Structure 1
């Protein structure tokens, strides 16, 4: 066999290792790369889970895994988004209704993961401490690839504020969170089943007019979220009942929305099964406290 051909073959076989060495990629980074498909599969399976106790008990281990991987690859935008989305889902579904103080801390963590993902997209300021006009100018420079980061950062931020609604300084941040979500509306209104419209339904429906609420706007946003989701995301009706129907003291609509949610199978869209089971649990809690609201 020709010696030059042997050398060429050995060089070709070693090329991936040479490139790996030159790139400075560690074995831990390789482990992160290898773990990402497992995370994606695990999240897909989690979204299809209908047993809330099983999901509640499993999610912390998944979140710890993501945080461990981030220690090895702290600027990985996909891992940062997994963390933001995961902490939001766990806190919204299993913590905030029972322990607001703990929920506040978890939403804070969620916000910082989302913000770190946005920095990887080029956000060059801290929106929490900048002026609103500065935030508007900064997010206007972000493109469509930043939509997930914008969405989850704004969602986590708004919930963190909501857990501290007695603090006027924190409530004053809400307008800046809304700036991020308005950019989502402009770039990709359909992201996460119309989640940006749902955000603004709560944003305008959950406050009296003297504090910036606008029930007509809230109704329009809820209706748009309903159209975009095709009526398959039960949280639209639950949040409509919790924020707009309750705020306007429309008890009949409150009951209608929540009982409709409870009458449907959570897994009619398998990929929304967990979200819909969480929505049903919240619907039951709201109905159990109905006399306190009306």
Structure 2
């Protein structure tokens, strides 16, 4: 019996050691994922990025199987699915891509939500007052922002769905908390949300061109105009609502003529802004 007990003890120790080594290996791999992801966002070839990104996302999902509660990995996945959907699916003319964008945004939201405190997750689909109070437990802006961005984008492309539009208030509460935590996060992108929020709706529903301009000016100033997405939003959510055609064209031309090396760490985002600016400029006659 003693021999059997010793063998069982050795087996248990071996299994625990094996699991610990596996988790250590996964954790070590995750530590290099963030700089690897940053290298990806430095890519300036949109077609290459579109083809490569799904494999990277699935690799991260594979790692998550071993460490399902890793907040850094969950945040990277939320960011990745948001970025992929916005860059390559949401405005694609390819059949089925819009439905894929809806699915990917929802998936990104779920990953980000898993990185938030239990108190937030418990009320994510329930009482708004309890949800708002729980948001005060959040100290890390990254999973909060990417969760809100994914959910907000999902709402934006589901405007015909009353239930989906009803989730916008939850997005607003999340972005409000994110703004309080760090208004400069991801080059001031929280201000981009508010620029679109105030500039993309009529005045009777809370829209305000002045507030949109205030937020977009902040986003542009934070990176001295090197991050091009705020200028794209400036044309779309301020120049169009105020019917300033000259400002609209001038701003979009600035985006299109900007050097690919204007912000090397965000080549991919800037190239997406350029592509969207070209599309928006072609719509000028319909917008003015």
- TM-score w.r.t. length of structure 2: 0.88
**Pick from 81, 85, 90: which aligns with 2:84?**
90
Contact map agreement 1:70 1:79 (CA 8 A) in 2: yes
| C-alpha separation in 1, matches of 2:60 and 2:108 | 12
**Pick from 280, 284, 287: which aligns with 1:290?**
284
**Pick from 82, 99, 122: which aligns with 1:125?**
122
**Pick from 100, 120, 124: which aligns with 1:102?**
100
Counterparts in 2 of 1:73 and 1:224: CA distance versus 1, 3 Å = same
Residue 235 in 1 paired to residue 233 in 2? no
**Pick from 32, 43, 52: which aligns with 2:46?**
52
Q: Describe the SS at the equivalent of 2:213.
A: helix
Counterparts in 2 of 1:22 and 1:134: CA distance versus 1, 3 Å = same
Deviation, 1:47, is: 1.5
Contact map agreement 1:50 1:267 (CA 8 A) in 2: no
Counterparts in 2 of 1:142 and 1:42: CA distance versus 1, 3 Å = closer
| C-alpha separation in 2, matches of 1:256 and 1:74 | 47
Please give the residue correspondences for 1:1-294 in structure 2 after superposition, counting only pairs within 5 Å.
25-98=19-92, 99-119=97-117, 123-127=120-124, 129-143=125-139, 146-294=140-288
Deviation, 1:54, is: 0.9
Deviation, 1:131, is: 3.0
Q: Residue in 2 aligned with 1:13? A: none
Contact map agreement 2:117 2:137 (CA 8 A) in 1: no
Q: Describe the SS at the equivalent of 2:90.
A: coil
RMSD value, Cα: 2.0
Runs of 4+ in structure 1 deviating by more than 3 angstroms, as ranges, are 18-28
Deviations 1:125-151 (A, max 9, x none): 232x223322221112322xx211111
Contact map agreement 2:116 2:144 (CA 8 A) in 1: yes
Counterparts in 2 of 1:23 and 1:154: CA distance versus 1, 3 Å = farther
Contact map agreement 1:107 1:156 (CA 8 A) in 2: yes
Gaps of 5+ in 2: 1-11
| C-alpha separation in 1, matches of 2:62 and 2:273 | 30
| C-alpha separation in 2, matches of 1:241 and 1:81 | 30
Q: Describe the SS at the equivalent of 2:65.
A: helix
Q: Residue in 1 aligned with 2:3? A: none
Deviation, 1:31, is: 3.3
| C-alpha separation in 2, matches of 1:206 and 1:141 | 30
Deviations 1:90-130 (A, max 9, x none): 1110110013221111100011011011136x535232x22
Contact map agreement 1:198 1:221 (CA 8 A) in 2: yes
| C-alpha separation in 2, matches of 1:40 and 1:134 | 33
Deviation, 1:259, is: 0.5
Counterparts in 2 of 1:218 and 1:53: CA distance versus 1, 3 Å = same
| C-alpha separation in 2, matches of 1:276 and 1:189 | 20
Contact map agreement 2:216 2:230 (CA 8 A) in 1: yes
Q: Describe the SS at the equivalent of 1:266.
A: coil
